[in-house]
Amino acid sequence: MTTLQTIHCPNCGSYAERHQINDISRTQCPRCDYLMVMCNRTGRVIEAHAPGLDSSIRLTEPVTRHRRSPLQPASALA
């Protein structure tokens, strides 16, 4: 089963396409050449490419959204 979604590119904010092919999610942006291929079942990133970022995505680690830790000490802000 294949579905196609139009989403906002997480890299440049333009419109990108997300293809769902069985357990594989493939997100690609024609504007900035962003690419993310991920297994929905395991959450593992199979292939990732995000131009314009100063550090490339490490394929050995799952890509998660950056979260602000509520446990961050207030002294870090001072």
Residues 31-60 that bind Zn ion (CB under 5 A): 31-32, 34
Region label for 42, one of left (φ > 0), alpha (ψ between -120 and 50) or beta (otherwise): alpha
CB of 27 to Zn ion, least distance (A): 9
Does 9 bind Zn ion (CB under 5 A)? Our answer is yes
Burial tier of 16 (Cβ tally within 10 Å: 0-12, 13-18, 19+) = buried
User: Which stretch in 12-20, 35-43, 48-56, 65-73 sits in contact with Zn ion by CB under 5 A?
Assistant: 12-20
Contact set with Zn ion (CB under 5 A)? 9, 11-12, 14, 29, 31-32, 34
